[in-house]
Structures are given as C-alpha cells and as structure tokens.
Amino acid sequence: MLKRLGLCALVALGLVASEGHAQSPKIDLLLVDETQTFQASLMVQIYARALQETGLFNFEAKIVSVQSSYDDPLGVNTTGKKYELIVIVPRGIEDGSVLSIWLITKPIGPQTRPELLKALQLIRERVTQGSGGLFRALTPMDDGALGIFATVFEHHGWLK
C-alpha cells in the first residue's frame, strides 16, 4: 500500500511541474515505460503529460516489456531519431523492488546545455518531492549501471 501511495505521489509531482519556463531550445526526451501493471502505466502516462506541459521537452514515449529492469529496453535504433535525455521508469518500480527513475544522458561536462542541466534538476526534485522521498531520479553520475545504459544507448544510436 505504501508503495502504491508513493507511485501515486510520483504522478502528483508531475501535476505541479508545469510552472512557467522561459522559451529556450527544447530537450529531445524519450520516456521509456517498463512498468508491468495497467495502474502503473496510467500513472506514468499522467506523469508524462505533466512533463510535456512544462514546455521544456520535445517529447516521445515508448512502452516496452523487459524480463529485468537491467535489460536493454530499446535495442538498436532503426528510427534515426536521437534524444538528449532518456527517462526510464523501470520494471519493479510499481512493486518497490526498484526505487528510482533513471535519467540517461551522455556524460555531463562543459559541453552540456544549461537547459538539460535545468531539466535534470527539475525532474530530480519533482520525483523526490512528489514521492515523499520514496523514489529518486538517478543519472549515470549517480549509478555506474546507468553509465553502461548510456554507453549502450549511444552505441545503438539513441543518444545525441
């Protein structure tokens, strides 16, 4: 029950994320939903809409099925479309076996656009606040496994 409330709170965070932002180049974002229940997928869709409404993103989403939260959910990119940020809502978040949302980017450095840094910070804050601290948003700088995802996604043509 606590985990379900935490996931509901995660959705609520998106509803307050629509504060005004100055117009600047948008971030190409791909949201990957690995959740396995109808209820969790609905909550991810509500969260996605709220992120889209911030005006910070050129937004696309994929619903994928994986055996493990550490499986590659995307494979080789045959679309030619590349993203600056890939947000993964991993399998296991709905049952509490995974307590983080993954923000996959190329390594952060001097070349990183300020808009991307602002978006990462906004998403991190909203995930933590909206879930009452139950969930966190992690980047490759926080978790080495996400760095491996970033390398695989770049190799497969998903990250720009």
Residue-number span of the structural domain to which 27 is assigned = 2-155
Total-model pTM: 0.84
Q: Report yes or no on 160 lying in a domain.
A: no
- Name the pLDDT band for 53 (thresholds 50, 70, 90): confident
- Euclidean distance between CA atoms 14 and 87, whole angstroms: 14
3-state secondary structure of 80: coil
Reading across the β-sheet that carries 136-138, which strands appear in turn? 57-63, 27-33, 85-89, 100-104, 136-138
Average pLDDT over residues 21-30: 79
- Euclidean distance between CA atoms 99 and 7, whole angstroms: 10
pLDDT above 90 as % of the chain: 57
Residue 47 reports pLDDT greater than 90: no
- Euclidean distance between CA atoms 63 and 78, whole angstroms: 16
Task: Provide the mean pLDDT of the chain.
Answer: 85
Q: Report yes or no on 48 lying in a domain.
A: yes
Contact predicate 85/120, CB 8 Å: yes
- Name the pLDDT band for 132 (thresholds 50, 70, 90): confident
Residue 11 DSSP one-character state: H
Give the pLDDT confidence of 68-96 residue by residue, as tens digits: 988 999 999 999 999 999 999 999 998 88
Pairing type for strands 100-104 and 136-138 reads: parallel
Count of structural domains, the chain? 1
Residue 106 reports pLDDT greater than 70: yes
pLDDT above 70 as % of the chain: 85
Residue 141 reports pLDDT greater than 80: yes
